Amino acid sequence: MRVTIFGTGYVGLVTGTCLAEVGHDVVCVDIDEAKVEGLNRGVIPIYEPGLSPMVKANHAAGRLEFTTNAAQAIEHGDVVFIAVGTPPDEDGSADLKYVLAVARTIGQHMQRTTIVVNKSTVPVGTADKVRAAIAHELAERRTNLVFDVVSNPEFLKEGDAVNDCMRPDRIVVGTDSPQALEKLKRLYAPFNRSHERIVAMDVRSAELTKYAANAMLATKISFMNEMACIAEQVGADIEHVRQGIGSDPRIGWHFIYPGAGYGGSCFPKDVQALAWTAQQYGCNPRLLDAVEAVNAAQKQHLFELMTRHYGDVRGKTVAVWGLAFKPNTDDMRAASSRTLLQQLWDAGARVQAFDPEATQEARRIFGNREDLHLCATAGEALQGADALVVVTEWKQFRSPDFARLANVVKDKVVFDGRNLYDPAEVEAAGLSYYGIGRGR
Protein backbone atom coordinates (compact mmCIF):
# COMPACT_ATOMS: atom_id res chain seq x y z
CA MET A 1 0.00 0.00 0.00
CA ARG A 2 1.03 3.60 -0.51
CA VAL A 3 1.53 5.36 2.79
CA THR A 4 2.38 8.95 3.69
CA ILE A 5 3.58 9.94 7.14
CA PHE A 6 3.73 13.50 8.44
CA GLY A 7 6.46 13.89 11.06
CA THR A 8 9.82 12.13 11.30
CA GLY A 9 10.10 12.15 15.10
CA TYR A 10 10.19 8.95 17.12
CA VAL A 11 6.72 7.79 16.21
CA GLY A 12 6.70 8.89 12.55
CA LEU A 13 10.16 7.66 11.68
CA VAL A 14 9.80 4.29 13.40
CA THR A 15 6.30 3.68 12.03
CA GLY A 16 7.31 4.69 8.50
CA THR A 17 10.39 2.50 8.58
CA CYS A 18 8.54 -0.53 9.93
CA LEU A 19 5.76 -0.15 7.35
CA ALA A 20 8.41 0.02 4.61
CA GLU A 21 10.16 -3.00 6.12
CA VAL A 22 7.01 -5.13 5.59
CA GLY A 23 6.74 -4.00 1.97
CA HIS A 24 4.62 -0.85 1.93
CA ASP A 25 5.64 2.12 -0.17
CA VAL A 26 6.26 4.92 2.34
CA VAL A 27 6.90 8.65 2.00
CA CYS A 28 7.77 10.56 5.17
CA VAL A 29 7.28 14.32 5.21
CA ASP A 30 8.85 16.83 7.54
CA ILE A 31 9.12 20.61 7.46
CA ASP A 32 12.70 20.44 8.76
CA GLU A 33 14.80 20.54 5.57
CA ALA A 34 18.09 19.69 7.27
CA LYS A 35 16.54 16.64 8.89
CA VAL A 36 15.01 15.42 5.62
CA GLU A 37 18.24 15.98 3.77
CA GLY A 38 20.12 14.09 6.49
CA LEU A 39 17.66 11.18 6.42
CA ASN A 40 18.04 10.88 2.65
CA ARG A 41 21.79 10.56 3.27
CA GLY A 42 21.24 7.95 6.00
CA VAL A 43 21.76 10.29 8.98
CA ILE A 44 19.27 9.24 11.67
CA PRO A 45 18.40 12.14 14.00
CA ILE A 46 17.66 9.96 17.05
CA TYR A 47 19.43 7.11 18.79
CA GLU A 48 17.17 4.08 18.64
CA PRO A 49 18.60 0.54 18.59
CA GLY A 50 18.10 -1.23 15.25
CA LEU A 51 16.55 1.76 13.49
CA SER A 52 19.49 3.08 11.49
CA PRO A 53 20.19 -0.05 9.39
CA MET A 54 16.48 -0.49 8.73
CA VAL A 55 16.10 3.10 7.50
CA LYS A 56 19.12 2.71 5.22
CA ALA A 57 18.05 -0.66 3.80
CA ASN A 58 14.51 0.45 3.03
CA HIS A 59 15.65 3.76 1.62
CA ALA A 60 18.10 1.95 -0.66
CA ALA A 61 15.33 -0.45 -1.71
CA GLY A 62 13.20 2.54 -2.75
CA ARG A 63 10.38 1.79 -0.29
CA LEU A 64 11.15 4.66 2.09
CA GLU A 65 11.52 8.24 0.97
CA PHE A 66 11.90 11.51 2.87
CA THR A 67 10.66 14.82 1.57
CA THR A 68 9.59 18.33 2.52
CA ASN A 69 7.15 18.43 -0.40
CA ALA A 70 3.79 18.01 1.32
CA ALA A 71 1.69 18.26 -1.85
CA GLN A 72 3.52 15.39 -3.58
CA ALA A 73 3.51 13.34 -0.41
CA ILE A 74 -0.26 13.71 -0.01
CA GLU A 75 -0.76 12.69 -3.60
CA HIS A 76 1.31 9.57 -2.89
CA GLY A 77 -0.64 8.13 0.03
CA ASP A 78 -3.85 6.10 0.12
CA VAL A 79 -3.38 6.34 3.85
CA VAL A 80 -1.94 9.54 5.34
CA PHE A 81 -0.65 9.41 8.91
CA ILE A 82 -0.31 12.39 11.22
CA ALA A 83 2.60 11.68 13.58
CA VAL A 84 3.74 15.12 14.68
CA GLY A 85 4.45 16.36 18.19
CA THR A 86 1.86 17.51 20.71
CA PRO A 87 3.99 19.44 23.21
CA PRO A 88 2.35 20.57 26.44
CA ASP A 89 0.81 24.02 26.41
CA GLU A 90 1.39 26.32 29.39
CA ASP A 91 -1.73 25.02 31.15
CA GLY A 92 -0.73 21.34 30.71
CA SER A 93 -3.10 20.67 27.81
CA ALA A 94 -1.69 19.17 24.61
CA ASP A 95 -0.87 21.83 22.04
CA LEU A 96 -2.51 20.80 18.77
CA LYS A 97 -0.99 23.45 16.51
CA TYR A 98 1.23 20.99 14.61
CA VAL A 99 -1.51 18.38 14.25
CA LEU A 100 -4.00 20.93 12.93
CA ALA A 101 -1.43 22.51 10.62
CA VAL A 102 -0.92 19.09 9.02
CA ALA A 103 -4.70 18.61 8.79
CA ARG A 104 -5.00 21.94 6.93
CA THR A 105 -2.15 20.97 4.59
CA ILE A 106 -3.90 17.67 3.83
CA GLY A 107 -7.14 19.57 3.09
CA GLN A 108 -5.27 21.95 0.78
CA HIS A 109 -3.61 19.23 -1.31
CA MET A 110 -5.85 16.15 -1.20
CA GLN A 111 -6.81 15.01 -4.72
CA ARG A 112 -8.76 11.78 -4.07
CA THR A 113 -10.45 9.72 -1.37
CA THR A 114 -8.01 9.52 1.52
CA ILE A 115 -7.84 7.88 4.91
CA VAL A 116 -6.26 10.24 7.43
CA VAL A 117 -4.88 8.38 10.43
CA ASN A 118 -3.91 10.19 13.58
CA LYS A 119 -1.01 8.60 15.44
CA SER A 120 0.01 11.59 17.52
CA THR A 121 -1.05 11.44 21.17
CA VAL A 122 -4.02 13.79 21.18
CA PRO A 123 -6.85 14.63 23.57
CA VAL A 124 -10.28 13.13 23.11
CA GLY A 125 -12.13 15.08 20.45
CA THR A 126 -9.11 15.86 18.29
CA ALA A 127 -10.27 13.67 15.40
CA ASP A 128 -13.33 15.94 15.14
CA LYS A 129 -11.06 18.99 14.96
CA VAL A 130 -8.86 17.33 12.32
CA ARG A 131 -11.98 16.45 10.32
CA ALA A 132 -13.26 20.03 10.58
CA ALA A 133 -9.88 21.50 9.54
CA ILE A 134 -9.69 19.28 6.44
CA ALA A 135 -13.35 19.93 5.56
CA HIS A 136 -12.77 23.67 5.89
CA GLU A 137 -9.87 23.59 3.42
CA LEU A 138 -11.83 21.41 0.98
CA ALA A 139 -14.73 23.85 1.16
CA GLU A 140 -12.33 26.72 0.42
CA ARG A 141 -11.23 24.81 -2.67
CA ARG A 142 -14.90 24.07 -3.49
CA THR A 143 -14.02 20.39 -3.66
CA ASN A 144 -16.14 17.63 -2.34
CA LEU A 145 -13.74 14.76 -1.70
CA VAL A 146 -14.53 11.93 0.68
CA PHE A 147 -12.15 11.26 3.56
CA ASP A 148 -12.08 9.41 6.89
CA VAL A 149 -10.27 10.41 10.06
CA VAL A 150 -9.11 7.42 12.09
CA SER A 151 -7.51 7.35 15.53
CA ASN A 152 -4.66 4.83 15.69
CA PRO A 153 -2.56 5.62 18.79
CA GLU A 154 1.00 4.40 19.08
CA PHE A 155 2.29 2.45 22.06
CA LEU A 156 5.98 2.10 21.22
CA LYS A 157 8.63 2.69 23.89
CA GLU A 158 11.84 4.58 23.25
CA GLY A 159 14.82 2.24 23.30
CA ASP A 160 12.67 -0.68 22.11
CA ALA A 161 10.66 1.15 19.50
CA VAL A 162 11.48 -1.01 16.47
CA ASN A 163 10.61 -4.18 18.33
CA ASP A 164 7.37 -2.69 19.69
CA CYS A 165 6.40 -1.58 16.22
CA MET A 166 7.26 -4.85 14.49
CA ARG A 167 5.68 -6.98 17.23
CA PRO A 168 2.82 -4.92 18.71
CA ASP A 169 0.74 -6.25 21.64
CA ARG A 170 -2.30 -4.61 20.12
CA ILE A 171 -3.19 -2.22 17.32
CA VAL A 172 -5.95 0.13 18.40
CA VAL A 173 -8.05 1.44 15.53
CA GLY A 174 -10.79 3.96 16.26
CA THR A 175 -13.17 4.61 13.40
CA ASP A 176 -16.84 4.56 12.49
CA SER A 177 -16.03 3.69 8.88
CA PRO A 178 -16.03 -0.02 7.91
CA GLN A 179 -14.00 0.81 4.77
CA ALA A 180 -11.30 2.58 6.76
CA LEU A 181 -11.12 -0.33 9.21
CA GLU A 182 -10.73 -2.79 6.34
CA LYS A 183 -7.93 -0.70 4.84
CA LEU A 184 -6.04 -0.49 8.11
CA LYS A 185 -6.48 -4.22 8.63
CA ARG A 186 -4.77 -4.75 5.29
CA LEU A 187 -2.05 -2.25 6.11
CA TYR A 188 -1.28 -3.94 9.42
CA ALA A 189 -1.79 -7.54 8.24
CA PRO A 190 1.98 -8.27 8.23
CA PHE A 191 2.16 -7.42 11.97
CA ASN A 192 -0.88 -9.45 12.78
CA ARG A 193 0.11 -13.03 12.05
CA SER A 194 -0.41 -15.43 14.94
CA HIS A 195 -3.58 -13.84 16.31
CA GLU A 196 -5.79 -10.84 15.75
CA ARG A 197 -4.11 -7.82 17.27
CA ILE A 198 -6.43 -5.16 15.96
CA VAL A 199 -8.77 -3.82 18.63
CA ALA A 200 -11.44 -1.86 16.76
CA MET A 201 -13.52 0.77 18.52
CA ASP A 202 -15.03 4.22 18.10
CA VAL A 203 -12.74 7.22 17.63
CA ARG A 204 -13.10 8.75 21.10
CA SER A 205 -12.46 5.48 22.89
CA ALA A 206 -9.28 5.02 20.85
CA GLU A 207 -8.12 8.53 21.75
CA LEU A 208 -8.77 7.88 25.43
CA THR A 209 -7.14 4.43 25.32
CA LYS A 210 -3.75 5.97 24.60
CA TYR A 211 -3.92 8.24 27.65
CA ALA A 212 -5.41 5.53 29.84
CA ALA A 213 -2.49 3.20 29.01
CA ASN A 214 0.19 5.77 29.85
CA ALA A 215 -1.65 7.02 32.93
CA MET A 216 -2.02 3.45 34.22
CA LEU A 217 1.70 2.78 33.79
CA ALA A 218 2.63 6.10 35.43
CA THR A 219 0.24 5.28 38.28
CA LYS A 220 1.98 1.94 38.89
CA ILE A 221 5.34 3.71 39.10
CA SER A 222 4.13 6.47 41.43
CA PHE A 223 2.39 3.87 43.60
CA MET A 224 5.66 1.97 43.95
CA ASN A 225 7.59 5.16 44.66
CA GLU A 226 5.12 5.98 47.41
CA MET A 227 5.51 2.44 48.80
CA ALA A 228 9.28 2.99 48.67
CA CYS A 229 8.95 6.10 50.84
CA ILE A 230 6.92 4.09 53.34
CA ALA A 231 9.41 1.19 53.22
CA GLU A 232 12.26 3.55 53.91
CA GLN A 233 10.55 4.97 56.98
CA VAL A 234 9.27 1.72 58.46
CA GLY A 235 12.55 -0.13 57.99
CA ALA A 236 11.51 -2.41 55.09
CA ASP A 237 13.19 -3.08 51.73
CA ILE A 238 10.97 -2.17 48.76
CA GLU A 239 12.87 -4.66 46.57
CA HIS A 240 11.55 -7.54 48.71
CA VAL A 241 8.11 -5.96 48.62
CA ARG A 242 8.30 -5.66 44.82
CA GLN A 243 9.16 -9.33 44.48
CA GLY A 244 6.42 -10.21 46.93
CA ILE A 245 3.70 -8.42 44.99
CA GLY A 246 4.92 -8.84 41.37
CA SER A 247 4.43 -12.60 41.50
CA ASP A 248 0.68 -12.05 41.77
CA PRO A 249 -0.34 -12.09 38.09
CA ARG A 250 -3.07 -9.56 38.82
CA ILE A 251 -0.30 -7.10 39.71
CA GLY A 252 2.46 -8.33 37.39
CA TRP A 253 6.17 -7.64 37.17
CA HIS A 254 6.14 -4.71 34.79
CA PHE A 255 6.37 -1.05 35.76
CA ILE A 256 6.67 -1.68 39.48
CA TYR A 257 10.30 -0.60 39.72
CA PRO A 258 10.74 2.25 42.17
CA GLY A 259 13.37 4.76 41.20
CA ALA A 260 14.28 8.39 40.71
CA GLY A 261 10.88 9.15 39.13
CA TYR A 262 9.53 8.73 35.62
CA GLY A 263 10.61 11.08 32.84
CA GLY A 264 10.57 11.16 29.04
CA SER A 265 8.37 12.84 26.51
CA CYS A 266 5.24 10.85 27.32
CA PHE A 267 4.28 10.06 30.91
CA PRO A 268 4.76 13.52 32.44
CA LYS A 269 3.06 15.25 29.51
CA ASP A 270 0.26 12.72 29.07
CA VAL A 271 -0.73 12.48 32.74
CA GLN A 272 -1.02 16.26 32.85
CA ALA A 273 -2.90 16.45 29.58
CA LEU A 274 -5.40 13.79 30.71
CA ALA A 275 -5.93 15.63 33.99
CA TRP A 276 -6.58 18.79 32.00
CA THR A 277 -9.10 17.00 29.74
CA ALA A 278 -10.82 15.54 32.81
CA GLN A 279 -11.22 19.02 34.27
CA GLN A 280 -12.57 20.37 31.01
CA TYR A 281 -15.32 17.78 31.17
CA GLY A 282 -16.14 18.44 34.83
CA CYS A 283 -14.34 15.40 36.29
CA ASN A 284 -12.01 15.85 39.23
CA PRO A 285 -8.79 13.93 38.37
CA ARG A 286 -7.72 13.34 42.00
CA LEU A 287 -5.70 10.23 41.23
CA LEU A 288 -3.94 11.68 38.17
CA ASP A 289 -2.97 14.80 40.12
CA ALA A 290 -1.55 12.61 42.88
CA VAL A 291 0.42 10.48 40.39
CA GLU A 292 2.05 13.63 39.06
CA ALA A 293 2.68 15.10 42.53
CA VAL A 294 4.31 11.88 43.77
CA ASN A 295 6.55 11.86 40.71
CA ALA A 296 7.60 15.49 41.13
CA ALA A 297 8.60 14.71 44.73
CA GLN A 298 10.37 11.51 43.71
CA LYS A 299 12.61 13.37 41.28
CA GLN A 300 13.96 15.27 44.28
CA HIS A 301 14.52 12.21 46.41
CA LEU A 302 18.12 11.48 45.43
CA PHE A 303 19.09 14.98 46.45
CA GLU A 304 17.25 14.51 49.76
CA LEU A 305 19.25 11.34 50.41
CA MET A 306 22.46 13.23 49.67
CA THR A 307 21.48 16.02 52.03
CA ARG A 308 20.62 13.45 54.66
CA HIS A 309 24.12 11.98 54.31
CA TYR A 310 26.10 15.18 53.98
CA GLY A 311 24.02 17.87 55.62
CA ASP A 312 25.42 20.25 52.99
CA VAL A 313 26.83 19.24 49.59
CA ARG A 314 28.51 22.60 48.96
CA GLY A 315 31.98 22.09 47.47
CA LYS A 316 31.41 18.37 46.78
CA THR A 317 32.24 16.80 43.44
CA VAL A 318 29.54 14.32 42.51
CA ALA A 319 29.94 11.58 39.89
CA VAL A 320 26.63 11.04 38.10
CA TRP A 321 26.14 7.84 36.09
CA GLY A 322 23.27 8.21 33.62
CA LEU A 323 21.61 11.33 32.20
CA ALA A 324 19.04 9.91 29.76
CA PHE A 325 15.50 9.48 31.14
CA LYS A 326 15.97 5.71 30.74
CA PRO A 327 18.55 3.35 29.18
CA ASN A 328 18.97 2.84 25.43
CA THR A 329 18.07 6.36 24.49
CA ASP A 330 19.80 9.73 24.31
CA ASP A 331 16.56 11.47 25.27
CA MET A 332 16.75 13.73 28.32
CA ARG A 333 13.27 15.25 28.15
CA ALA A 334 11.88 15.52 31.71
CA ALA A 335 14.74 13.26 32.85
CA SER A 336 15.22 12.88 36.61
CA SER A 337 18.91 13.68 36.10
CA ARG A 338 17.96 17.25 35.21
CA THR A 339 16.22 17.80 38.54
CA LEU A 340 19.17 16.32 40.43
CA LEU A 341 21.83 18.29 38.55
CA GLN A 342 19.97 21.55 39.10
CA GLN A 343 19.59 20.84 42.81
CA LEU A 344 23.29 19.97 43.11
CA TRP A 345 24.33 23.14 41.29
CA ASP A 346 21.95 25.30 43.35
CA ALA A 347 23.53 23.82 46.47
CA GLY A 348 27.07 24.57 45.28
CA ALA A 349 28.24 21.09 44.21
CA ARG A 350 30.14 20.16 41.02
CA VAL A 351 29.00 17.38 38.71
CA GLN A 352 31.07 14.90 36.67
CA ALA A 353 28.57 13.05 34.53
CA PHE A 354 28.74 10.10 32.19
CA ASP A 355 26.03 8.70 29.95
CA PRO A 356 26.68 6.18 27.14
CA GLU A 357 24.49 8.09 24.66
CA ALA A 358 23.23 11.39 26.07
CA THR A 359 26.46 13.41 26.36
CA GLN A 360 25.78 15.46 23.26
CA GLU A 361 22.22 16.11 24.34
CA ALA A 362 23.47 17.18 27.79
CA ARG A 363 25.92 19.57 26.16
CA ARG A 364 23.10 21.01 24.08
CA ILE A 365 20.88 21.47 27.13
CA PHE A 366 23.40 22.74 29.68
CA GLY A 367 26.05 24.36 27.48
CA ASN A 368 29.48 24.88 28.96
CA ARG A 369 29.48 25.45 32.68
CA GLU A 370 32.21 25.41 35.29
CA ASP A 371 30.32 23.04 37.56
CA LEU A 372 29.67 20.38 34.90
CA HIS A 373 32.21 18.04 33.39
CA LEU A 374 30.80 15.63 30.81
CA CYS A 375 33.00 12.54 30.83
CA ALA A 376 33.88 10.02 28.12
CA THR A 377 33.73 6.98 30.42
CA ALA A 378 32.12 5.89 33.67
CA GLY A 379 35.60 5.62 35.18
CA GLU A 380 36.51 9.17 34.24
CA ALA A 381 33.43 10.46 36.06
CA LEU A 382 34.75 8.86 39.25
CA GLN A 383 38.19 10.50 39.14
CA GLY A 384 38.39 12.95 42.01
CA ALA A 385 34.69 12.50 42.88
CA ASP A 386 33.47 12.53 46.47
CA ALA A 387 30.31 10.52 45.85
CA LEU A 388 28.68 8.39 43.14
CA VAL A 389 25.01 8.75 42.15
CA VAL A 390 23.40 6.36 39.67
CA VAL A 391 20.42 7.93 37.93
CA THR A 392 19.82 5.76 34.84
CA GLU A 393 20.00 1.97 34.83
CA TRP A 394 22.24 1.42 31.79
CA LYS A 395 23.47 -2.20 31.68
CA GLN A 396 27.09 -1.15 32.00
CA PHE A 397 26.42 0.36 35.45
CA ARG A 398 24.94 -2.83 36.86
CA SER A 399 28.00 -4.62 38.21
CA PRO A 400 30.84 -2.26 39.00
CA ASP A 401 33.91 -3.37 40.94
CA PHE A 402 32.87 -2.17 44.40
CA ALA A 403 36.35 -2.60 45.87
CA ARG A 404 37.67 -0.24 43.20
CA LEU A 405 34.81 2.19 43.81
CA ALA A 406 35.70 2.22 47.50
CA ASN A 407 39.26 3.20 46.55
CA VAL A 408 38.32 5.90 44.07
CA VAL A 409 35.21 7.58 45.51
CA LYS A 410 36.64 9.82 48.22
CA ASP A 411 33.73 9.87 50.67
CA LYS A 412 33.02 6.18 50.02
CA VAL A 413 29.31 6.63 49.38
CA VAL A 414 26.97 5.39 46.63
CA PHE A 415 23.47 6.74 45.97
CA ASP A 416 21.65 4.16 43.88
CA GLY A 417 18.66 5.86 42.23
CA ARG A 418 17.49 2.67 40.48
CA ASN A 419 18.16 0.01 43.11
CA LEU A 420 20.71 -1.73 40.90
CA TYR A 421 22.91 -3.00 43.72
CA ASP A 422 22.71 -5.35 46.66
CA PRO A 423 23.21 -3.06 49.68
CA ALA A 424 25.06 -5.78 51.61
CA GLU A 425 27.57 -6.25 48.77
CA VAL A 426 28.21 -2.50 48.48
CA GLU A 427 28.61 -2.13 52.24
CA ALA A 428 30.90 -5.14 52.43
CA ALA A 429 33.30 -3.24 50.14
CA GLY A 430 33.43 -0.45 52.71
CA LEU A 431 31.02 1.95 51.00
CA SER A 432 27.93 3.59 52.47
CA TYR A 433 24.83 2.72 50.46
CA TYR A 434 21.61 4.65 49.84
CA GLY A 435 18.90 3.23 47.59
CA ILE A 436 15.24 4.00 46.97
CA GLY A 437 12.99 2.60 49.69
CA ARG A 438 15.64 0.47 51.32
CA GLY A 439 15.14 1.19 54.98
CA ARG A 440 16.33 -2.12 56.32
Residues that bind ligand UGA (CB under 6 A): 121, 154-158, 214, 217, 221, 255-257, 259, 262-264, 266-267, 325-326
Instruction: Output 221 or 374, the one with its CB closest to ligand UGA.
Output: 221
Instruction: Output 15 or 317, the one with its CB closest to ligand UGA.
Output: 15
CB of 225 to ligand UGA, least distance (A): 8
Identify which of 277, 227, 263 has the alpha carbon closest to the alpha carbon of residue 339: 263
CB of 298 to ligand UGA, least distance (A): 8
CB of 170 to ligand UGA, least distance (A): 11
Instruction: Output 183 or 210, the one with its CB closest to ligand UGA.
Output: 210
Instruction: Output 134 or 266, the one with its CB closest to ligand UGA.
Output: 266
d(CA 152, CA 306): 44
CB of 434 to ligand UGA, least distance (A): 17
CB of 235 to ligand UGA, least distance (A): 23
CB of 371 to ligand UGA, least distance (A): 24
d(CA 327, CA 382): 20
Angle at 51 between CA 47 and CA 57, to 5 degrees: 135
Residues with a known catalytic role: 266
CB of 27 to ligand UGA, least distance (A): 23
Instruction: Output 241 or 349, the one with its CB closest to ligand UGA.
Output: 241
